Amino acid sequence: MLHKADNGIYTSPLLSSIEGLKHGFTTRAHGDMRHKNMIVSILGSDVVFVQAQQVHGADVATIVPKTQTSSMSSVDGLVTTSRRNQLFLTVRTADCVPILAVDPVRRIIGVAHSGWKGTVAKIPQALVREMIAAGADCKNICVVLGPSIGACCYHVNDDRKKAFIRAFGDLAKGIVEKDGKVFLDLEKNIIDQLRFIGIAKHHIETASMCNSCLYPEFFSYRKDTKETFGEMLGFIGFESLRIL
C-alpha cells in the first residue's frame, strides 16, 4: 500500500527504505505530466529525466549515464545503471499500470508502462530481463506498481479476454468474470509475471488503488473527458531530488 506524503506525492514503503533512492507517483493535483514543464516542476530544473514514447508495446531501452533529458522513441520501458545521481526515469499513466523497479545493490533502476497490450506482450518480464542484462541481480530487484484502473472497473470486450488467454493459457490470471461481463485485473497478472521470472514476493508492492474509483484524485482515461484528461507521473532515481 502506498503512502501519501504532505506534498501529495504517493510513495512506496518498500522503495522508501532504500537509502538515496527517490521515487513517487503524482496525482491530478500536480498537473498534466504530458507537458515537460510540469515534470520539471516536480523533479526540479537541475534533474535530468528520460521518458519513453509509450506505444503500448513491450520494448525496453537501456539508457547510458551520459544521456540528457530526452524521450526514447518506440519503447514502453527504460533501464539505467543510474550510477550518475540526478538521472531519473519516468513513466506517464492514466489507467495503465506504472511500474518502478530497482536493484538497490547494483543501483540499477527501471520503469515500464503496462497497459493491456503491454501486459499481454509481457513487458513486466521484459523490464526485468533488461535490468538483468544491465547487471542487476534478480534476487535484489524490488518492484512497485502504481495507481491504475482496477478489476472493479476495467470492463473489456471478449477480444481482450481472448488475447489474455492466447498469451497466458486458459488459467490466465487477470481475467475476472462477473454478472456476464469480463473485467481485467492487470495488477494481478503483472504480479504473476514478476513472480514467474523470479522476483521475490516480499520485493513486490502494489498500490491497490483504482484510478476510476478514486476519480478525481487521479486522471482516468475512461472517466475523463477530452477537456479534463491528463496523465500522472511515476519517477525513480538516486539522490538530489527536489519535490515542489
Distance CA 140, CA 203 (A): 8
Distances 117 to 103, 120, 188, 191 between C-alpha atoms, Å: 26, 5, 15, 16
pLDDT digits (tens, 9 = 90+) for 14-45: 999 999 999 999 999 999 999 999 999 999 98
Share of the chain above pLDDT 90, in %: 87
Tell me: pLDDT of 6 over 50: yes
DSSP 8-state symbol, 190: H
The overall average pLDDT reported for the chain is 93
Residues in the chain: 244
For residue 207, what are the contacts with CB-CB under 8 A and spacing of at least 6? 1, 2, 10, 25, 144, 145, 146, 147, 148, 187
Distances 242 to 24, 79, 137 between C-alpha atoms, Å: 12, 22, 29
pLDDT digits (tens, 9 = 90+) for 156-207: 999 999 999 999 986 678 999 999 999 999 999 999 999 999 999 999 999 9
Tell me: pLDDT of 243 over 70: no
For residue 159, what are the contacts with CB-CB under 8 A and spacing of at least 6? none
pLDDT of residue 92: 98
DSSP 8-state symbol, 139: G
The β-bridge partners of 100 are: 111, 144
Q: Global pTM?
A: 0.95
pLDDT digits (tens, 9 = 90+) for 106-156: 999 999 999 999 999 999 999 999 999 999 999 999 999 999 999 999 999
Tell me: pLDDT of 85 over 80: no
Distances 153 to 3, 193, 210 between C-alpha atoms, Å: 23, 22, 8
For residue 202, what are the contacts with CB-CB under 8 A and spacing of at least 6? none
pLDDT digits (tens, 9 = 90+) for 41-79: 999 988 899 999 999 999 999 998 777 778 999 999 999
pLDDT of residue 242: 45
Tell me: pLDDT of 84 over 70: no
Tell me: pLDDT of 83 over 70: no
